[in-house]
Structure 1
Amino acid sequence: MKKILTDSDDFETIIRTGAAYVDKTELLEKIGPCSYSIFVRPPRFGKSLNMSMIKSFFEMNYADPANKSKPKELFQNLQIMKNKEFCEKYMGEYPVISISLKSVRGKTFEEALKAFTEIIIDLYKSFADVLYSSPKLNREYDYYTLDFFAKLDIENLDWTNPHTISSIVLGINKSLEVLTYLLFKAFGKHTIVLIDDFDEPLRDAAAYGYYENMREVTSGMGNAVLKTNSNLQSGILTCSVLVALDYGIDHLSVYETDYEYYSTMFGFTYEETEELLKRLNLDSHTEDVIEWYGGYNFANNKMVCPESLLKFCADVLTSPDPVTFEPKNYRIDAEEKEIIKYSLQNNDYLFSECLQNLLDGDSYQTNISVLSKYYPINKEMNPFWAFDLLFFRGFLTLVKTASKTGNDYVVIPNKEVLDFFGLTTKEIFNATKLNWKEKALAFKEALFNNDKDKVQTLINELLINFVSVRDTAYESFYQEFLTSVLSVTIAPDHEELLSKSENGLGFAYTIINNTIESKVAIIEYKKAEKGETFKKICAEALKQIDEKQHSHKYEQKDYSICKYGITFSGKTCWVAMP
């Protein structure tokens, strides 16, 4: 059985451990050794692994430049080796500087700058032995910057001293440029520079108010190493948001998801997904995987999110019952939750209607701008910037671009994204939201009191006042919504809320019971398709409660049982009882 690595984006580790790998080495031929490129892709689409692969292929053996055994061993069974001329000419030929800025986070500029400095220190230390032992470097002049970072004691710096901050910023600005100079002097070869997650430092910077300070650090470093640098062989950046334009780094070629030539190089195509699942003997899950993690459209190529797919495969392979294992949500990013919360709670009518159409499974016509900076996610934010963020973070995908208007048509790609909306909704409904708790308590009381009309009225009020959380594409979203509303009302000592829990011979969508008063309310949800009547669908829901014996154990305990069949369609809800 193939090993699945979900916690590593290091190419060498994946290859040496024999872990499952989808061959993307065609990218090496496409970029060549002289690329000046920015690849813009949503998070979780394999950017870091591709950058690691590029490093592993082109990086020279610093101790023995003629020895290319390491890259030959790593790539021996991969597609790139079929191009013998390319491999002979470029494999293991260049110094490579590779850093990721993913960890540059912090609530203050000083905190983030310290994280940035640690990355540069680690980089310099990785080259220290090679450079210090080179007879071609001038000990008096060339060692200055090398010593500055390779021997810097970060813990003993005074991060409150403006002079210290200024020195560190200046040092980072010149760090990569100077390192390319030192490598050229030591080996007589130009350097390939790879900067992964180039936009990440700006996420917290925008959120916590130090955007311009961090912009000065990252743009200074990027411009110094990538512009007019005679020691540069190639420069490649990856990002989710195209902040490089805001930095003035506008001389690199930009490749977004709609650029055909590189469209399948990040993420898995449907064909690659099917082949991987077949290799893992998981091909019975193909349809579910596509529905949950696919749906992305990169230049008319249907793509699957690789991180979610691999985590799903790892979970299935370790599950006691792989055949019945169901897909789940693997999105956990806290900042992405803030974007969703902003979107769900925004009061702009037009924005809410647009978001509602997306949640209903429809496309939305917009004009996705080239988002060149991060914005703080707050009430002052232009609500339609949220659509841009949702798109660039992988919550929306492009369907088509209208040829006459130039407008883009976007959709929510899959069930994982919809589920992420549902989970975030649960966080919004909590006991501190007193206005919602009041309605939720009334809703629970009406359920226990057989008050069908009040139940229907309250659900519709909740939907009207919180329109963005409805989803007419999937019944489960309604279930998530109403369960989250009820969850704020539960008295844990004598009340229990069950959601999709085994009961009788099947699954009840929502059950709430009161052990003191011996009451239980059982709710079955249905979505009415076009042409179907509410009355008919509600009757089917009630029939399902009886057929699957959802109330059986409560009948044995002589509970007062309230059964509800609830049907949704568009903006309308209908409630029926036996």
Structure 2
Amino acid sequence: MKKIPKGISDFKKVRRLNCEWVDKSLLIQEVIDSSSEVILFPRPRRFGKTLNLSMLRYFFEKGEESSADLFEGTRIQQHGDVYAQEQGKYPVIFLSFKEVKGDSWELCYKKICDVFAEEVKRHLAILSHEALDPVDLIQLTAIKQTAAQEHVMNNSLKLLSHVLSQYHQQKVIVLIDEYDVPIHNAYLSGFYAQAISFMRTLLGAVLKDNTALHKGVLTGALRIAKESIFTDLNNVSTYSVLNKQYSSYFGFTEKEVTALLETYHLSSMLDDVKKWYNGYQFGETTIYNPWSILSFIENGERECRPYWVNTSDNALIRQLMARQPTQFRVDFELLIQGGTVEKTISEHIVLSELNHLSEQVYSFLLFTGYLRAIDKRFDQLENQFYYTLQIPNLEVKWLFEQIFRQWLEKGVGDDPRLMLQALVSGKIGDFSIYFSDYVMNSVSLFDLADRQPERIYHAFVLGMLVLLKGSHEIKSNRESGLGRYDVLLIPKDTSQLGLIIEFKRTFAERGDTLASAAEAALQQIEEKQYQQELKQRGIASILALGIAFQGKQVLIKEKILSEQ
């Protein structure tokens, strides 16, 4: 069987080494047929962006060595002379910014200069061209030696495109991979303004009103927008995960995954693979995570596990989620439980707004592959679309559960397992102490001013119970007996304690106290017979908890409903 090319993003190497390759060559046809001068493909990381751009490079690039053999037997080869005539026709500038990261602008800028120097070295013949302008020669030589001043670097792509076009007597194709990595890195490291300013000037010079440009193709995770990069570029056509066009070229379709699993004798694992790595919706196409699929096949252990979410530290995701208000955690508790949330989505991401605009955060999570859109509706009153969002698969759910664990550890201060062990063993006095500390450290009084503060407590409890999923089934807002309970904690070992939790807030105008509210919660559990589901499961020991709260003050009362 063919070698799995995980981590190999050079198309030539993949083909020459006879590696397994899912044929995405009809992307070439669509790029040729497109009337757009510049195309941007925002897709999640490790979804095949670099390999696809490399494929475009080897197809279009004019060079001494033919690359026609790389496309033998591919789909694009079967589509006639009109596309074959475009092969090997254009000078190509190919840049990848995926490794342009650093903790200062100076280091980041140096890496950008290194990338440009390597690209100039790929086109060394132009430096000895007799028609080359002496000033251009000086500037290109400085770029090659990483000695160019910043104003020269700002114009470097445009300069290189004009010199290549003059040398080859043909317009240039510009391919830029992961254009937004330097910007994400700058946002995290504190030099966002410098990075945005440089990238805006660099890309604007080469992509707008450039007579040497035939076509430009960019990839990244996001469409960085507004005051950022594409302010003055009206010739850029963006095809995001929400668009139908180009939807099947990044990531694997179900048909492609089925064929791969069959090739490697893993067809029996298809259902598990779907649960773990499926769930992405690009336009109307169902897409699997390609990195995780290839990792799963290469691993050969016939066991699904998190691959894609472990390929980076997810620093920006964790940072963003930690900075959001408590309502955000309420939403994510619902998502982790398999529910959905409805949000507005902006295709124009402004990283500087991520900390205080939830629309931007949900948009970021959608376009970077941590959420999927399963439906949309148009609100005529607000004149905008609302998207129904969901966690795509078990792999991403696993990551969010880890983030919930970190929130819990930060709130409790000690090992959260001590708090949870006190709960499941029925030591409610100890649990009350831990839980009160958790509330004091984690819940904002601003959030509790909401008209439905019960949701906040509900979300925090469900979030912490995620850590018990190995030993317990956690159910919320389901029917049992004569009503709908708040939380049911069902032990997988039926000899262990089952718990019913009901939340009550106090109303000062009614003369409520924490004690009376907690008693009312216990009374509701008994009157509505919420214990019925536990009894039907064969749970003999059942404990009811009434959790009452007034702001950050919490009181928990317990009542044994049945015991062995």
Measured against the shorter chain, the TM-score band is 0.7 to 0.9
Q: Which residue matches 1:410?
A: 389
For 2:559 and 2:272, the matched residues in 1 are separated by 30
Amino acid at match of 2:185: D
Matched, 1:74 2:70: yes
Comparing 335-344 with 358-367, which one deviates more in the overlay? 335-344
For 1:458 and 1:282, the matched residues in 2 are separated by 50
Matched, 1:421 2:413: no
Among 270, 277, 289, the residue aligned to 1:305: 289
Among 466, 489, 494, the residue aligned to 1:542: 494
For 2:127 and 2:415, the matched residues in 1 are separated by 69
Q: Are the structure 2 counterparts of residues 183 and 338 from structure 1 closer, same or farther at C-alpha, using a change threshold of 3 Å?
A: closer
Partners of 1:180 and 1:231 within 8 A in 2: yes
For 1:566 and 1:329, the matched residues in 2 are separated by 39
TM-score by length of 2: 0.76
Matched, 1:92 2:100: no
Among 220, 225, 233, the residue aligned to 1:239: 220
Comparing 49-58 with 530-539, which one deviates more in the overlay? 530-539
Matches within 5 A, 1:43-442: 43-61=45-63, 63=64, 70-128=66-124, 130-138=125-133, 140-152=134-146, 168-243=149-224, 245=226, 246-247=228-229, 248=231, 249-316=233-300, 319=301, 322=302, 325-332=303-310, 336-340=314-318, 342-343=320-321, 346-349=324-327, 351-375=328-352, 381-405=356-380, 406-428=385-407, 433=410, 435-437=412-414, 441=418
Q: Are the structure 2 counterparts of residues 358 and 426 from structure 1 closer, same or farther at C-alpha, using a change threshold of 3 Å?
A: closer
Partners of 2:242 and 2:283 within 8 A in 1: yes
Amino acid at match of 1:134: H
Partners of 2:251 and 2:290 within 8 A in 1: yes
For 1:567 and 1:294, the matched residues in 2 are separated by 39
Cα shift at 1:458: 7.4
Q: Which residue matches 2:31?
A: 31
Q: Percent identity?
A: 24
For 1:276 and 1:567, the matched residues in 2 are separated by 50
For 1:536 and 1:365, the matched residues in 2 are separated by 26
For 1:201 and 1:151, the matched residues in 2 are separated by 21
Q: Which residue matches 1:17?
A: 17
For 2:371 and 2:324, the matched residues in 1 are separated by 18
Q: Are the structure 2 counterparts of residues 435 and 91 from structure 1 closer, same or farther at C-alpha, using a change threshold of 3 Å?
A: same
Q: Which residue matches 1:514?
A: none
For 1:418 and 1:404, the matched residues in 2 are separated by 29
Post-superposition Cα deviations, 1:10-30, rounded to whole Å, max 9, x if no partner, equal 111111111111111111111
Comparing 104-113 with 93-102, which one deviates more in the overlay? 104-113
Amino acid at match of 2:25: T
Partners of 1:528 and 1:567 within 8 A in 2: no
Q: Which residue matches 1:525?
A: 472
In angstroms, what is the RMSD of aligned CA positions?
3.6
Partners of 2:43 and 2:241 within 8 A in 1: yes
Post-superposition Cα deviations, 1:62-105, rounded to whole Å, max 9, x if no partner, equal x3xxx6xx322001021111012133310111101010112222
Q: Are the structure 2 counterparts of residues 78 and 537 from structure 1 closer, same or farther at C-alpha, using a change threshold of 3 Å?
A: same
Q: Which residue matches 2:449?
A: none
* Secondary structure, counterpart of 2:374 in structure 1: strand
Give the number of aligned pairs: 481
Amino acid at match of 1:303: I
Q: Are the structure 2 counterparts of residues 305 and 468 from structure 1 closer, same or farther at C-alpha, using a change threshold of 3 Å?
A: farther
TM-score by length of 1: 0.74
Post-superposition Cα deviations, 1:117-170, rounded to whole Å, max 9, x if no partner, equal 111111111212x223434434x34411221112336xxxxxxxxxxxxx6321
* Secondary structure, counterpart of 2:149 in structure 1: helix
